[in-house]
Amino acid sequence: MRYKVAEIEDQIIATLKADTANFNASLVDTFAGQVNAQMFANPEYMQGFVKLLPFALVSYQGRTAQKSDRDSSGKIYIHTLAFRIFIGAQSARKAQEAARNCYDMLAGLYDDLHGKVPLTAATQQLPAYTPLSGIALTSSEVTILAPLFESGGQDESLVVNLPGIVVYRADFSIRMVA
């Protein structure tokens, strides 16, 4: 492959950390897995998450490639990489306040990522698109076909709505030559 998923994920994290108006830089990180309501059934586990609030956790969701997304020799594939970002907020008073804090974070997330491309060492960037923050991708052969876009369908959804914590997820994808 011509790209490294970890480098793209690092740029997404760096971009969110740079947005200090919407995110606390120390609480933006990578996350392997899914956040769901069952995780908060254990009070001990919930306390661990509450200490992280507000957070933005970036989770790579894998890639897809259609049979039509390759050349006739099968040497070049086009991959669509999917990333899910979980954002969580806290309110000591009521869930509505935490949800509204998440709305601002979701808006910031969209502004930070939608239509952006990974920063590359080469000047191959798609014209008219802003690069993500962070260290440039190390491969000089990276070919980006489309920037990060919301994934389509249900891009945002409520994951957890409990007293003291509200978590939403947002999905973004990018198309690249493998």
Higher pLDDT, 100 or 94: 100
Q: What are the phi and psi torsion angles at 147 (to 5°)?
A: -70, 180
Note the pLDDT of residue 91: 67
CA distances from 48 to 51, 55, 125, 132 (A): 5, 12, 40, 30
Note the pLDDT of residue 42: 75
Structural fold of domain 5-177: STM4215-like (3.30.2000)
pLDDT for 58 beyond 80: yes
Structure confidence at residue 92 as a pLDDT band (50, 70, 90): low
State the average pLDDT for the chain.
86
Overall average pLDDT of the 140-164 stretch: 86
- Give the percent of the chain with pLDDT over 90: 47
Give the Cα separation of 37 and 62 in Å (integer): 22
Read off the pTM.
0.89
Structure confidence at residue 84 as a pLDDT band (50, 70, 90): very high
Give the Cα separation of 176 and 117 in Å (integer): 10
Write the CB contacts of 116 (distance below 8 Å, at least 6 apart in sequence): 15, 129, 130, 131, 132, 147, 148
Overall average pLDDT of the 64-79 stretch: 76
Note the pLDDT of residue 168: 93
For residue range 100-122, what is the model confidence (pLDDT) as tens digits? 888 999 999 999 999 999 998 76
Residue ranges per domain, the chain?
Answer: 5-177
Note the pLDDT of residue 124: 57
